[in-house]
Chains A and B, each alone.
Chain A
Amino acid sequence: MAHPDAPPFSVLWLQAGSCGGCTMSALAADDVGLVRALGRFGARLLWHPSLSEESGAAALTLLEDAAAGRRPVDALCVEGAVLTGPAGSGRFQMLSGSGRPMAYWVESIARQARYVLAVGSCAAYGGIAAAEGAATGAVGLQYLDGGAGGLLGGEFRSAGGLPVINVAGCAPHPGWLLETLAALALGEGESLALDSLGRPRAFADHLAHHGCGRNEFYEFKASAARPSDRGCLMENLGCKATQAPGDCNLRRWNAYGSCTDGGFTCIGCTMPGFQDPGAPFQQTPKLAGIPVGLPLDMPKAWFVALAALSKSATPPRVRVNAHADHVIVPPARKPPKQP
């Protein structure tokens, strides 16, 4: 794919205040893992904390060179929120062996790298690390929740001219990351389209709802009442798929799944602030019996009217199956033609 003589596109990966889950997700990329999947597009890991041989002094030298611009970095991938506390010192995460906070390393290398990617919603927006109750001063690279700022500031542009590329998700689909890095490695950075919150439009132009396997239940508002029910998860169980950016149900996760196919609610993990929904994650807040979180671009009155209409038209098959964990009533079949 990449020209055989082209120098490899170098990717440096840092784990800030993270759980490591974005790396774990990426490790299953295309069923061969991040390293091989990237290699197919001429991209190479310069260093990754979980995958590289270099440890200790050798790794530190590499990072110092990257921070000083002596070692070119095409893409800096940061996983995890940047912890700025306590009191702005960054001491909640020191990069081991360096005597300096991780915030220093992220910022120094981001100011040298051609492109900067926030891998996952923590690095993008603060995410779960910045949840209510956290006292670590966690911020995203260029945002805190939905507000521009973060570690690098709203005006930040990397050497390649782009703001931080927010490969959001908790954890993001490995394809979102791989396809973004591949496009950059192929020299298509200039045409990489981002939405208003820095997410690649390739996945963010869709909603998690699109292609959901429960669509028939959604159409008829035949709703699940408890975990493992096959019905639509939106009315009672807190599903945010009609609002959450992502092609989650247009592609498969780990070959066979997605959140809603796995039987549980979409928590909107690609959205800034998803970690504090203001209500329990698996309950739909309602006003006068009507869910408050309706699709964003649909007039509420119409939605309510259509829902009432479709509920009254629900076939018994759909109604029954919505409250079971397997098909109780199969679809009707045309009787075979008599000869």
Chain B
Amino acid sequence: MTAPPRLPAPTRLILGPFNRVEGDLEVTLDVSEGVVQAAQVTAPLFRGFETILAGRAPADALVVAPRVCGICSVSQSAAAAGALARLAGIEAPPNGRLAADLVLACENLADHVTHFALFFMPDFARAAYAGRPWHATVRERYAAGRGRSQQRLVAARARLLHLLGLLAGKWPHSLALQPGGTTRAVDGGERIRLMGILAEFRECLEEVLFAGPLDEVAALDSPAALARWADAAPDSRGDFRLFLAIARDLELDRLGRGPAAFLSHGGFGLWPAGTLMDGIGGPLDTAQMREDPAHSWMAGPPAHPADGTTVPDADKPGAYSWCKAPRLAGRPAEVGALARHAVAGDPLARGLVGNGGGSVRDRVVMRLVEAARLLIAMEGWVRRLTPGEPFCHDAPLPEDGAAAGLVEAARGALGHWLTVRRGVIHNYQIVAPTTWNFSPRDQDGQPGPLEQALAGTPVQPGEDTPLAVQHVVRSFDPCMACTVH
């Protein structure tokens, strides 16, 4: 009898503080033979917003919920206002709808640019990549805190947020989004100013990111068209093209494959809600959602968010994250810009993922393509604002009822589930985009999307915080503040 060959015991790496993600993240890796064998994703912060919301007047959610996250503040506002609007059975007037869409799209657009410039690209400026043909260019443009493009984009982002100063009073944490519409009407001059703000941001994107017309990027309709666009100019012409060159060189299209399951709540009337499972599109049945706390420091059985609870249990055996594990009909699913477009049947996104899951490259590509598309849509919405027409309807709330507010934040599907009894919030449950993407294992032991995406990631000898792992993690644009709340 010969003993079976013994594999070397895996080395355990604990990664943290994991910076340039929004909020707190710890990743534990079991590494052997130069690749990640298994990953555990830990959200190490719990603040308890769902219990803070309980017992308050329903409209107080408009103050409390945005403060779940200062990055996705407007998205949280929009979900809360959406849930309250459904509770009141009211719709905003056309101006209010347009203004609310502008406010949310502005945050999403700013977030996409922030992610690219501040969180994702600086990793390619690291000394470990010295010698790559693109390294000097990236270093000059995206070195953390110094890169020229980074500074340009951060400044342009600040000036894009002027739109929120005008339409939402300030950012983050505004009360402008109400169930009946928005609180800030605009006059004729202000409408023109909004156009000016968007025009300035377009100039910056066309110069720094795309080195050409935004509309060409927005119209890309297949991986082949993307490749043709990339090949039409030298690699250093525009930072999107620079990224595509890096992606080719480092094979980022093979890195960080997530599950072949995507979902979207649908955004702005532009991109419909739905799912894409193993390459097959379908409707989104939110009744099939469950939050599973099997490996969370949370008590209770798996439950639909409308019936969910938030009971921390810091000593629970087998638990390793404050994050619960959302599942759709038992499956983990990836959310975000890639999911939004793949679900909507966009030919570029569908072409990128095929019947499988998304990669590091796919996520970044669709974020930037979406940025172009969003800006064009926003330009149209501003033109349709009609000064003098109402922005907000009254929205008296009933004493009892239940409703959900489902939106697409920059990072994907965000849902608020609200139950009101005798005029106060009885239960409030939030499932955020990164709750989906960075969920821990469920009761069946299925890893969450990032945990799946990390398996197989190469680790170079001597790396304590493997670079490829950092690319995979950051490609999701995680928002850990939202994740656990």
A: which residues have CB within 8 A of B?
15, 17-25, 27-29, 31-33, 35-36, 45, 48-60, 63, 83, 86, 89, 91-98, 102, 128-129, 131-136, 138, 170-171, 226-228, 252-265, 267, 269, 275, 280-283, 325-327
Contacts and interface: CB of A to CB of B under 8 A. Distances in A.
Given A262-B184, A264-B174, A49 B19 contact: yes
A52 B185 contact: no
Contacts of A24: 70-71, 73, 171-172
B293 to A, nearest CB: 16
Contact of B63 (A29, A255, A261, A267): A267
A82 to B, nearest CB: 12
B465 A58 contact: yes
A93 B45 CA distance: 4
A15 B24 contact: yes
B14 A259 contact: no
16 contacts: A17-B47, A19-B68, A19-B71, A21-B173, A32-B154, A36-B154, A49-B19, A51-B144, A96-B25, A97-B15, A135-B48, A259-B175, A275-B64, A280-B59, A280-B60, A281-B59
Given A254-B170, A258-B169, A262-B175, A134 B20 contact: no
Interface string B451-485: 00000000000001100001000000000010000
B20 A50 contact: yes
Given A58-B465, A256-B166, 12 more contacts: A18-B23, A20-B71, A22-B70, A24-B171, A55-B470, A93-B44, A136-B46, A228-B178, A254-B171, A255-B165, A269-B173, A281-B175
Contact of B119 (A50, A91, A258, A265): A50
Contacts of A91: 314
Interface stretch (B233-241, B343-351, B373-381, B385-393): B385-393
A200 B19 CA distance: 30
B158 A33 contact: yes
B173 A325 contact: no
Given A15-B24, A20-B71, A21-B70, A264 B185 contact: no
B439 interface: no
B253 interface: no
A15 B18 CA distance: 12
Contact of A92 (B46, B174, B187, B391): B46
Contacts, number: 282
Interface string B176-207: 10101111110100000100000000000000
For the complex of A and B, the 7 pairs showing the least CB-CB separation, nearest first, are A262-B169, A21-B70, A97-B16, A96-B16, A254-B165, A263-B183, A56-B465
B63 A281 contact: yes
B133 interface: no
Contact of A261 (B14, B55, B169): B169
Contacts of A269: 173
A312 to B, nearest CB: 28
B143 interface: yes
Nearest to B168: A262
B182 A135 contact: no
A189 B464 CA distance: 40
Interface of B: 14-20, 22-26, 42, 44-48, 51-57, 59-60, 62-64, 67-71, 73, 114, 118-119, 122, 125-126, 143-145, 151, 154-155, 157-159, 161-162, 164-176, 178, 180-185, 187, 193, 312, 314, 387-388, 390-392, 394, 464-465, 470, 481
Contacts of A326: 185, 187, 387-388
A32 B158 contact: yes
A25 B161 CA distance: 10
Contacts of A83: 45-47
A234 to B, nearest CB: 15
A22 B47 CA distance: 16
Contacts of B312: 86, 92, 135
Contacts of B184: 228, 261-263
Contacts of B470: 55
B165 A256 contact: yes
Contact of B67 (A19, A45, A98): A19
Given A55-B17, A257-B169, A259-B175, A134 B185 contact: no
A55 B465 contact: yes
B70 A23 contact: yes
Contacts of A60: 16-17
Contacts of A51: 20, 118, 144-145
Contacts of A282: 59, 62-63, 175
Nearest to B313: A86
A97 B42 CA distance: 10
B353 to A, nearest CB: 28
Contacts of A281: 57, 59-60, 62-63, 175
B54 A96 contact: no
Contact of A133 (B16, B52, B187): B52
A227 B180 contact: yes
Contacts of A259: 169-170, 174-175
A160 B184 CA distance: 44
B48 A28 contact: no
A221 to B, nearest CB: 20
Nearest to A79: B70
B248 to A, nearest CB: 24
A52 B114 CA distance: 14
Contact of A19 (B52, B70, B126, B182): B70
B70 A96 contact: no
Contacts of B183: 227-228, 262-264
Contacts of A267: 63, 175
A179 B465 CA distance: 36
A45 B118 CA distance: 14
Given A53-B143, A281-B60, A282-B175, A95 B165 contact: no
Contacts of A96: 15-18, 24-26, 42, 44
Nearest to A138: B47
Contacts of B56: 133, 280
Contacts of A260: 169
B60 A15 contact: no
A327 B119 CA distance: 44
